[in-house]
């Protein structure tokens, strides 16, 4: 592949606004990187979809986006899409693809009690990919998992300035704690990119002695490493957010995206 031009963007992809939690730390490391942020609102929530549906949908949509925006690298800023479709996307597309997978390895290094909670979508927490991460990095720990679609809805609402239902937060934490061994957990992996948007609410419900972790900073470092030595614009250019068209869910106001360097919104 030829060296990318300075204007070639980094493409971030999620079902919704969760991927902004990966975009944030990436912009901190690469402040002038041109950005395209793509959200599949027509497909949200991914956590309620089948493996077969996502394994077909995600590579097809990313293929369209790559053709349209010609990115230098694509980030699947979604645990659900990554744990199900990363291999399919890599097989289908000829550019570097960075995925997002649950931060079980760092959680296993952090826990003192030996009990880790994994909070994700229902689809993510049932993936063999997650079994595998547990077996490789946390075989001597107890790993309790819980899927919470309500947190995805809550995070989307919060970015639109709406209140988050405290019961949804409480139920998500109880879903981990009420499992055998769950009362001793001291680390919770936020295994959905939407969930760090609710960090403060989840921290308050889990208590100060529980660490919440996610993989965003590590992904940002990986993106910086993979693009090291490439050219970038001299100063920051406004990013583009692109949403797949959904009758039920219009794109959010630009003001919600502006803090992430987004300057315009498109629908496809």
Contact residues toward ligand DGL (CB under 6 A) are 14-16, 18, 44-47, 78-80, 121, 124, 152, 192-194
The 10 Å Cβ neighbour count of residue 3 is 10
Q: How far apart, in whole angstroms, are the C-alpha atoms of residue 106 and residue 112?
A: 12
For residue 36, the SS3 value is: strand
The 10 Å Cβ neighbour count of residue 195 is 27
Contacts of 153 (CB under 8 A, 6+ apart): 45, 168
Asked if 235 is an active-site residue, the reply is no
Choice between 8 and 78, CB closer to ligand DGL: 78
Q: How far apart, in whole angstroms, are the C-alpha atoms of residue 234 and residue 65?
A: 25
CB of 11 to ligand DGL, least distance (A): 16
Angle subtended at Cα 213 by Cα 207 and Cα 217, rounded to the nearest 5 degrees: 145
Choice between 106 and 181, CB closer to ligand DGL: 106
Contacts of 163 (CB under 8 A, 6+ apart): 157
Choice between 14 and 186, CB closer to ligand DGL: 14
Token pair 């050219």 is at which residue? 231
**Per annotation, catalytic residue among 17, 78, 168, 210:** 78
Asked if 78 is an active-site residue, the reply is yes
CB of 190 to ligand DGL, least distance (A): 9
CB of 22 to ligand DGL, least distance (A): 9
CB of 120 to ligand DGL, least distance (A): 6
Choice between 4 and 194, CB closer to ligand DGL: 194
Q: Which residues are catalytic?
A: 78, 192
């Amino acid at each position: 592949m030829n060296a990318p031009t300075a204007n070639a963007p980094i493409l971030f992809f999620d079902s919704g606004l969760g991927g902004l939690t990966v975009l944030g730390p990436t912009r901190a490391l690469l402040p002038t990187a041109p950005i395209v942020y793509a959200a599949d609102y027509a497909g949200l929530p991914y956590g309620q979809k089948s493996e077969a549906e996502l394994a077909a949908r995600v590579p097809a949509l990313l293929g369209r986006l790559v053709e349209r925006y010609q990115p230098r690298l694509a980030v699947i800023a979604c645990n659900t899409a990554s744990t199900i479709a990363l291999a399919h996307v890599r097989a289908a597309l000829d550019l570097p693809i960075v995925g997002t997978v649950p931060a079980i390895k760092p959680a296993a290094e952090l826990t003192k009690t030996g009990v880790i909670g994994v909070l994700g979508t229902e689809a993510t927490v049932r993936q063999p990919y997650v079994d595998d991460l547990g077996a490789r990095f946390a075989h001597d720990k107890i790993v309790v998992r819980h899927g919470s679609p309500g947190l995805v809805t809550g995070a989307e609402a919060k970015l639109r300035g709406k209140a988050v239902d405290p019961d949804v937060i409480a139920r998500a934490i109880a879903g981990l704690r009420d499992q055998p061994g769950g009362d001793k957990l001291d680390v919770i992996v936020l295994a959905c990119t939407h969930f760090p948007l609710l960090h403060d609410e989840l921290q308050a419900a889990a208590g100060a002695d529980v660490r919440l972790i996610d993989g965003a900073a590590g992904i940002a470092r990986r993106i910086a490493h993979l693009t090291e030595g490439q050219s970038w614009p001299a100063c920051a250019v406004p990013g583009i957010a692109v949403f797949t068209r959904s009758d039920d869910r219009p794109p959010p106001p630009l003001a919600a995206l502006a803090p992430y360097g987004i300057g315009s919104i498109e629908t496809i």
